[in-house]
Chain A
């Protein structure tokens, strides 16, 4: 239940985070290190290809890398200023995906036609481009199904649970959505509300959810 620092983390990952805000980015590191697939050692992978057919394939691979990486490291959100070092770069072959290219990749992945795995978080001022995004290695719909399934299995239908409990209660330690961002969780819950499977009431901090 504690946040990041306790478990042994690969040094690169924590060093990339300069003073991370405690709640927004949860970086509970998995014990096993992530094995980078072969294509991350292919230098042209880090250059956006002009040939569109090749680019389509390249973007497919990027999408795959992003989702598996984030799933492994349980990153729900990605901020362009605080990127994990090894995700968009490979120091051993001295290649990095440049910032505009990263944005292009994420934009591409944000399209629903490509799976909608990324969603930009809109910034407060209208003119700026968003700087951070959600990475849906599972879409909210999938999360909703998972949570509802768990609620169903543990027989908590009809019971009232706090949001905090769903996020970080003891019962959910073995579940995949533990440590999820609050905002994301609220999104997932609103999906359930729309489906008519849940209802939220109460204040922000002490909100409760009731499942039907």
Chain B
């Protein structure tokens, strides 16, 4: 069973395929492999989709996120928590066809997905009472009858082999050995392998230090590979030993190099595995998800449902089996249902028949979909496609705008992409979970280049506008209240998402990209203001002269809030706030005149310096402040 690396969206949620839909989300989950915790994967979110089950770490999401394809999962097991041990769901991988496996599956069953003929496993497991399978191709057993040395089959596990395990016969005399003999040989081979810890798979060993590395090929100085079995020095490019036929794969060579580097004991035989080889490693037995904050029952339910439905096999979701439904017409290829009997569809009769079929189909879809809300959710895609069809057929071109059509298609995907409340379990943590998911949805929505929301607004949008746009997009489903919206917006900082909430002096809340800081805005404003403004034509065609500031004095030009909004494509409120902010930092100064307030670059500093005047000290500035306060108080008294 593979743990694959997972692609994340900018909001640090798993990026889904086109037809993949999100089913369940849960927080506070840890990963186990077999019996042991996997380091670095202990605190994260688990996302269940129709195709995969994904784990996204909280602390380092980009590095430690993995997914398991549901098609690789054979079955699941549930362990309800007890005292300190939290509830766990175990996923058992499917076995490939050419595996050798004991007919009695047990808990720590040898995962036959490990098996690849000719491959050795990357590591062995910690010393538990049942020694986990050590896949060592170089284990050999001596036939008691003829003395020929055969290889122990790679998937033979001395721990779980029982009477019914099928043992291969000896190659020379054709008689299968007794089980005991085989087990002994396998154990001997395991114990003979030296313990090593590479930087990658640390903290693991089979407890026995190196007795010698004669089982493992090592590389000698000059491009020669030493055979593990007969110690013959083979040429570097050979893959099997010339004398005895043992395999000389690169993995063995590498391992031997690592042995040379560090034969060290592991620090502790604790129940945790080393970090990096988890992803893509072949030697995983089972994967467990430990639910430390609840949600396991709902997750188990949905997981089993998803396994049953097997949505990954089809291009689109199969319709829920409806009684009396022969065929799903025209939705997608469905290799699992019988192809329709070929009908002669020539002539008017054919057209009529097709029309009738379509009608019947529509009727069944509508009928079944609207009877049951659950079924509606599942067949939402079909319903929407049908609605699209009707619209395009019947309506004239005026009544639908392209935006409406786009909205319609978007709402279909919106149902899949956004996390609705029923996807989350009940419980005290579901509130925060809802808010975190909402925050991530918002982040994705804003950074989505197809919509270009931020780009249209010049990179900065007020929170109220964003709320309106977002809810409009939801199209009446799962609208968000302003309070929830604000709470989710406040979480962006803590979740390290690429957008942030910012509050201006007057209390206006805006949303902007994380990389856009005040300094950048001020620099942009200044560079624009420094240019002298060319005379512009006003709306009625007369040339509007700018205020007759003598050019060449180096003042640049003054801008009103309206002009600034136009230039940077902000809204006027945002422009005013930005200008005020720049004025507060001292980069701009204002100029009140009859036609409004204009902002200029602050040149006062330059004048004072040029004239060599003494600037009043900080004490006098404070004095000014206190004077102003006094004045304000006095004026208030009248």
Q: Which A positions have Cβ atoms within 8 angstroms of B?
A: 37-39, 41-47, 49-61, 64, 92-95, 108, 111, 113-114
- Interchain CB contact (< 8 A) of B553 among A41, A49, A51, A108: A41
Residues on A with C-beta less than 8 A from B358 are none
B533 to chain A, nearest CB (A): 13
Residues in chain A near residue B604, CB distance under 8 A:
39, 44-45, 49, 54, 57-58, 61
**Pick the contact of A53 from B553, B586, B611, B613 — CB < 8 Å?**
B586
A113 CB contacts on chain B under 8 angstroms: 616, 619-620, 623
Tell me which residues across on chain A come within 8 A of B555, comparing CB atoms.
41-43
A38 — which chain B residues lie within 8 A by C-beta?
A: 553, 607
Is B624 a contact partner of A60 (Cβ separation < 8 A)?
no
B589: contacting residue among A51, A56, A60, A111, CB under 8 A: A51
| Top 7 closest pairs, chain A to chain B, by CB | A57-B604, A44-B591, A47-B592, A44-B589, A43-B591, A39-B607, A56-B616
Stretch at the interface among B21-29, B267-275, B445-453, B595-603: B595-603
Could you list 29 A-B pairs, sorted by A, with CB under 8 Å?
Answer: A37-B607, A37-B611, A38-B553, A38-B607, A39-B603, A41-B550, A41-B555, A42-B607, A43-B547, A43-B591, A44-B589, A45-B604, A51-B584, A51-B589, A52-B625, A52-B628, A53-B586, A56-B616, A58-B604, A59-B616, A60-B608, A60-B614, A60-B615, A64-B611, A93-B549, A94-B548, A113-B623, A114-B616, A114-B620
Given known A-B contacts A49-B590, A54-B586, A57-B608, A44 and B600 have beta carbons under 8 A apart: yes
CA distance A93 to B547 in the complex (A): 7
Please, how many angstroms separate the alpha-carbon atoms of A44 and B556 in the complex?
A: 12
The interface residues of chain B lying within 8 Å CB-to-CB of A52 are 621, 624-625, 628
Is B583 an interface residue when CB atoms closer than 8 A count as contact? yes
Q: Judging by beta carbons under 8 Å apart, are A111 and B623 in contact? A: yes
Q: How far is the CB of B96 from chain A (nearest CB, A)?
A: 73
Nearest chain A CB to B217's CB is how many angstroms away?
Answer: 76
Check: B605 CB closer than 8 A to any chain A CB. yes
> Chain B interface (Cβ within 8 Å of chain A)?
547-550, 553, 555, 558, 583-584, 586, 589-594, 598, 600, 602-605, 607-608, 611, 613-616, 619-621, 623-625, 628
Please tell me if the beta carbons of B553 and A47 are within 8 angstroms of each other in the complex.
no
Among residues of A, the one whose C-beta sits closest to the C-beta of B597 is A47
A114: chain B residues within 8 A (beta carbon): 616, 620
- Name the distance in Å between A123's Cβ and chain B's nearest Cβ: 19
Q: With A42-B555, A43-B591, A47-B589 given, can you name 12 additional A-B contacts, CB distance below 8 Å?
A: A41-B549, A41-B555, A42-B553, A47-B592, A56-B615, A56-B620, A58-B589, A59-B616, A60-B616, A61-B607, A61-B608, A95-B593
A111 to chain B: which residues have CB within 8 Å?
620, 623
Chain B nearest CB, measured from A191 CB (Å): 24
Is the Cβ of A42 less than 8 Å from the Cβ of B600? yes
Chain B residues near A46 (CB-CB < 8 A): 591
Q: How far is the CB of B615 from chain A (nearest CB, A)?
A: 6
Query: Which residues from chain A contact B594 at a C-beta distance below 8 Å?
Result: 94
Q: Chain B residues with Cβ under 8 A from A42's Cβ?
A: 553, 555, 600, 603, 607
B583 touches A50 (CB 8 A): yes
Q: Are A43 and B558 closer than 8 Å at their CB atoms? A: yes
CA distance A42 to B529 in the complex (A): 14
Q: How far is the CA of A57 from the CA of B608 in the complex (A)?
A: 7
Residues of A within 8 A of B548 (CB): 92-94
Q: Which residue of A lies closest to B580 (CB)?
A: A50
- B599 CB to nearest chain A CB (Å): 8
A56 touches B549 (CB 8 A): no
CA distance A56 to B614 in the complex (A): 11
The closest CB in chain B to the CB of A58 belongs to: B604
Find the residue from A37, A41, A44 having the highest chain B CB count within 10 A: A44
Q: Residue of A at shortest CB range from B601? A: A44
Residues of A within 8 A of B611 (CB): 37, 61, 64
Contacts of A64 in B (CB 8 A): 611, 613
How far is B480's CA from A95's CA once the two chains are assembled, in angstroms?
Answer: 51
Nearest-neighbor residue (CB-CB) of B583 within chain A: A51
CB distance from A128 to the nearest CB of B (A): 16
- With A43-B593, A46-B591, A61-B604 known as contacts, the answer to whether A56 contacts B550 (CB < 8 A) is no
Taken together as a complex, chains A and B put the C-alpha atoms of A8 and B594 apart, in Å, by: 35
Separation in Å of the B624 CB from the closest CB of chain A? 6
Q: Which residues of A contact B586 (CB under 8 A)?
A: 51, 53-54
Contact B613 A43 (CB under 8 A): no
The residue that A61 contacts in the complex, of B549, B550, B613, with Cβ under 8 A, is: B613
Residue on A nearest B620 in the bound complex, by CB: A113
